[in-house]
Amino acid sequence: MKLLVDSHVLLWAVDQPGQLSSSAASALRDPANDLLVSAATVWELAIKVSLNKLTLTKPYREWMTQVLADLDALVLPITVEYAAAQADLPAHHRDPFDRLLVAQASVEGISIVSHDGALDAYGVSRIW
């Protein structure tokens, strides 16, 4: 199964695994699952680091490269199709990064691994 990993889950998986629910941790560890990290998440974390709103355990690029390798995750690019799907979403959630994750999950028919219950309003499958 393909799973789209939300930014906080990515952070917790590496630096604070105790924050993950047992379902989320199991989903991330299951070798049958293909983990995807949105390019939006890669960008969101870079922005937060650059604004000093987030401190990582290593420099950003080193941290991100290591996380993707450790989780054996692939980056899901942002496409016109995903952007268009995001533009058509109702305003249940105001965070543009989360809205793009919802659009990507909807278009691809995949689940999002996230603690954010606000995503449920969009009818996407969420693992937590």
pLDDT in tens, 50-95: 999 999 999 999 999 999 999 999 999 999 999 999 999 998 888 9
Residue 93: per-residue pLDDT = 81
The predicted structure's pLDDT at residue 94: 82
| Number of helices followed by number of strands (H, E) in the chain | 6, 5
Q: Is residue 108 part of a domain?
A: yes
49, part of any domain: yes
Q: Is the pLDDT of residue 125 over 90?
A: yes
Q: How many domains does the chain contain in total? A: 1
Domain hosting residue 96, numbered range: 2-123
Question: What is the CATH number for 46?
Answer: 3.40.50.1010
List Cβ neighbours of 55 (8 Å cut-off, separation of 6 or more): 49
Return the minimum-mean-pLDDT range out of 8-17, 64-73, 88-97, 115-124. 88-97
pLDDT at position 91 is 86
Is a pLDDT exceeding 90 seen at residue 49? Answer: yes
Tell me the per-residue pLDDT of 20-39, one tens digit each, with 9 for 90 and over. Answer: 999 999 999 999 999 999 99
Q: In 3-state terms, what secondary structure has residue 22?
A: helix
At 72 the pLDDT is: 96
Asked if residue 90 is part of any domain, the answer here is: yes
Beta carbons of 9 and 25 less than 8 angstroms apart: no
